[in-house]
Amino acid sequence: MADARSRSLPGHAAPEHVQPASAQLREAGPISLREQMLRPRTFISFGISIALIAWIFARQEIPFAQVWANIRAANPWLILLAFAAYYSTFYVRTLRWKQVLANVGYTSHNEACLPRRRTLTRIIFLSWFANSILPAKLGDGYRGYLLKRNSNVSFSKTMGTIVAERIADVGALFALLLGAGMLAFRDHLPPNFGVLVGFGAALAALSLSTLFVLKYIGPWVARMLPGRVRPHYVRMEEGVLLAYRRRVGWILFLTLLVWILDSARFWFVAASLGQSFSPALVVFIALAAALLTTVPFTPAGLGVVEGAVVAALLLVIDDRALAGSIALLDRTITYWLLIIVGAVVYLFSNNK
C-alpha cells in the first residue's frame, strides 16, 4: 500500500530508485559540527546542565569525597563489561538502520552506493557524539547529512528513516518502561512516576500521531506545501512509511536488543559498586535515563538524567553517596566517555 501511495504523490520517486547526485546536493547544505558547537546556545545549555547537576547533588546532600572514593573502588572488570554492553548498541543500531535503508530502496542493487557497515556505525556514533554536545537532538540531522555525503541518497528520505527509527525506539521504550516500573514498585509507585510515564506517553502519542498524519493526511499536506518544499516533504514521508515494509520482526528484535543492552550496562555499573537490583528496577532506571535524554533543553538530557537516576535510586537504597556514585559512573560511560571517544573519532575521520 505504501509503495502505491508513494508513487502517486507529487514529487515521489519510486523506492527502488535513488535521486540524481545533483539533486541530493541541493537538499541539504554543508553542516559544520564545529560551527554548531561554537554557537552561544551550546555554551548556555552546557552551563545550565552543569549548574543543574551541582544543584541536585547539593540539595540531596551527596558527599563528593565519598562518591569519588566509591568510584575509585569500583570493580574495573564489571565497568569494562558495562562499557562493552553500551558501545555494542551502536553496532546493533547499525544493523537495524541498514535494514531500514534497504526497505526504502537503498541497496547495492539500485546504485545507492551505501557505505560499508563500519562506516555506517561510525556515522551513527558521530551522530550520538553530536547529540551529546548539542541541544535539541541536532545530531539526528547530522547523521542524515553524513550519509548523504557518503552515498548517492536523498537527505530527506534518510531523515525519514531516522524518524521511523525514533518512533520504534519510543514505542518499545515506553512499553518496557511502564511494565518495568509497575513490576519494580507495585503498590508503592514513586512520587514522580506519573510525570515520567506521562512524558513517555506524550512522546509515544506524538510518534503515533506522526505516523497517522503521514499515512492518512500526508497527500493533503503535500498539496498544501510550496512547490520547492513539497519534494523534500514527500521524500521524508516515503522514508518513514516504507521503513518497515520488510523484515519487521528483525527490526523489532534489534530495537528490543538495544534496550536490553542498555539495561545490562546499568546492571554492570551497579554491580561494580557492590549493588544488585531486581531486573525490573534495572530496566526501569536504565530506560528512564534513556527517555530523559530526549529533553531538548540540554545536550542528551545532561543534568536531568543524573537527577532522575539519583532520585530513583534513593527510593531503594539509603546511601546518598552510593546513589550519586552509580549515577555519575553510569553517565561517565554513556556521556563523558562518549564525548572523549567521539571527539577522537571526529578529529581523525573524514566524516565531518
SS (H, E, C) 304-349: HHHHHHHHHHCCCCCCHHHHHHHHHHHHHHHHHHHHHHHHHHHHCC
18 in Cβ contact with 105 (< 8 Å): yes
The whole-number pLDDT of residue 19 equals: 44
Give the global pTM: 0.84
Stretches where the chain sits below pLDDT 50 are 1-26
The whole-number pLDDT of residue 269 equals: 97
Query: What b/e string do you get for 2-40 counting C-beta neighbours within 10 Å, with b at 16 or more?
Result: bbebbeebebbbebeebbeeeebeebbeebebeebeeee
The whole-number pLDDT of residue 69 equals: 95
The whole-number pLDDT of residue 14 equals: 41
Distance of CA 352 to the CA centre of its chain: 20
CA atoms of 324 and 70, how far apart (whole Å): 10
294 in Cβ contact with 203 (< 8 Å): yes
Instruction: Give the DSSP letter string of 238-297.
Output: HHHHTTTSS-HHHHHHHHHHHHHHHHHHHHHHHHHTT----HHHHHHHHHHHHHHTT-TT
The whole-number pLDDT of residue 322 equals: 95
**Per-residue pLDDT tens digits for 46-89:** 777 788 778 877 887 888 899 999 999 999 999 999 999 999 99
Distance of CA 264 to the CA centre of its chain: 17
Write down the residue that cell numbers 556521556 correspond to.
Answer: 335
251 in Cβ contact with 96 (< 8 Å): yes
**Per-residue pLDDT tens digits for 186-245:** 877 777 788 888 888 998 898 888 888 888 887 888 888 887 888 888 888 889 999 998
Degrees (nearest 5) of the Cα angle 21, 23, 28? Answer: 100
- Which sign does the torsion angle of CA 90, 93, 97, 99 carry? positive
The whole-number pLDDT of residue 17 equals: 44
Domain locations in the chain as residue ranges: 30-157+244-347
Q: Would you give the DSSP letter of residue 116?
A: P
CA atoms of 45 and 308, how far apart (whole Å): 18
- Which sign does the torsion angle of CA 287, 290, 296, 301 carry? positive
